[in-house]
Structure 1
Amino acid sequence: MLANMAAALDIISGGRLELGIGAGWNEEESGAYGIELGSIKERMDRFEEACQVLTSLLSQETTTFNGRYYQLKDARNEPKGPQRPHPPICIGGSGEKRTLRITARYAQHWNFVGGPAEEFARKRDVLAAHCADIGRDPEAITLSAHLFLGPDRNYGQVIENAAALEAEGLDLGIVYIAPPHDPAVLQPLAEAIRDSGLCDRE
């Protein structure tokens, strides 16, 4: 179902879809909807299978898969979206043994959930090592991170954090704004980013 929805959105958006996926973490939300997440190991096992199934359904004519969690026989997903071989996949998380290994194999975009530049750099190196293990160029993966604008609206701190992460290879910063959400923060934030020169760097 997710592959079908993703293909439809890729078509409707004219090839602008980026598919963000993960193993599941919000137990409170899942419990409220009656969704059984399972143990962390079960989540990661299911997620790794899901990545295989999704990439195949979004790129191959038919998919046959016999896993623990997913079983498909000559499954079709048509029509496919315009992005080839499939819409870029974004995986967020920092687990060094499973999440970053799965990211190295299947993702075009890795999202670091936030933290100091030193931690980002260490996780980046783990991801690069997993890429080396399978012969993939780590430069093929976009690196992003969350940047937090707190209630104090310290725009300078956001810029400082972004610059420190950029120095360690960050490609994209995603700013999270603390509630209550107020559109008035957007203009000074945009001006601070513009004045920093970060957007002008290659």
Structure 2
Amino acid sequence: MRFGFKTSQQNTTWADMLAVWREADDIEIFESGWNFDHFYPIFSDSTGPCLEGWITLTALAQATRRLRMGTLVTGIHYRHPAVLANMVSTLDIVSDGRLELGIGAGWNEEESGAYGLELGSVRDRSDRFEEACEVLVGLLSQETTTFQGKFYELAEARNEPKGPQRPHPPICIGGSGEKRTLRTTARFAQHWNFVGGTPEEFARKRDVLHAHCADIGRDPREITLSSHVRLGEDGAFGPVVDQIAGLAAEGLDLAIVYLPTPHTPKILAPLAEALAPLA
């Protein structure tokens, strides 16, 4: 079992979040750090403070030396995929090849509506997401990309310079939609993130993903399987360890521990000690 951690940029300070990442960078059991891509806090008071995800991640790349990193996940409708591809390549360079590209179809109606960003129907989100994946892969791996779809059109578009990871940074798709999201994951992703839940729920989604892989002749072992595992505000490690053990029995590769706010680096060493028997 491998381990990562996640800090959300809501209801926290830059100094506290930075301290967590710097501490984690020195604790070997944590292979990756993640943030989220929202403009409003989620699952709490949405009027509170929330730092932007990609700017934050770029700063964290300069403050760390070892951790792999990514947003978990970027709603694709927040940025045109051509703009996002340029951001990805640049941050892959800035981080010395430590970036993972976390993307999803988008879901947050409140912030989308407030900013005038069209979220669309569930079908539109899935169609747009699939197009965006094609655009991103093209721009991140090819000299030029020409694409004509319902949502995006590109004409011999370039993205230079590209990052050190080839053919492109690993793509992590977050979501559990069985008909579309997991099918798109089978086509494009090197990493699938389960938002979190019981081992039984994870196993069902895993089997659906593997069936989509079989349909297109892809080896499912090429796709890392991860899950959020939430550490409660009480800081109790027992439930986290038990949940990870259950998910591991169903084939989980990477447990990403979602840290509570307010962030504190003091929690990381005892958390690492609690996770060590599962490694």
Q: With the length of structure 2 as denominator, give the TM-score of the two structures.
A: 0.68
1:166 paired with 2:248, answer: yes
Show the counterpart of 1:198. 278
Q: Distance in 1 between matches of 2:251 and 2:164?
A: 29
Alignment-mate amino acid for residue 24 of structure 1: G
Q: Distance in 2 between matches of 1:27 and 1:12?
A: 32
1:69 paired with 2:172, answer: no
Shift in Å, 1:51: 0.2
Q: Distance in 1 between matches of 2:95 and 2:269?
A: 27
RMSD of Structure 2 on Structure 1 (CA): 1.1
C-alpha change, 1:105 and 1:29, in structure 2 (3 Å) is same
Alignment-mate amino acid for residue 123 of structure 1: K
Q: Distance in 1 between matches of 2:232 and 2:179?
A: 31
Shift in Å, 1:172: 0.5
Alignment gaps of 5+ in structure 1? none
SS state of the match for residue 111, structure 1?
A: strand
Alignment-mate amino acid for residue 120 of structure 1: F
Q: Distance in 2 between matches of 1:11 and 1:187?
A: 30
Overall identity of the aligned pairs, in %? 73
Q: Which aligned pairs between 1:1-202 and structure 2 lie closer than 5 A? A: 1-194=83-276, 197-199=277-279
Alignment-mate amino acid for residue 152 of structure 1: D
Q: With CA pairs under 8 Å and 6+ residues apart, which has the higher RCO, 1 or 2?
A: 2
Alignment-mate amino acid for residue 162 of structure 1: I
Alignment-mate amino acid for residue 86 of structure 1: H
SS state of the match for residue 68, structure 1?
A: coil
Q: Distance in 1 between matches of 2:108 and 2:146?
A: 31
Alignment-mate amino acid for residue 139 of structure 2: L
Following TM superposition, the consecutive aligned residue runs of length 4 or more in structure 1 with deviations greater than 6 angstroms are none
Q: With the length of structure 1 as denominator, give the TM-score of the two structures.
A: 0.94
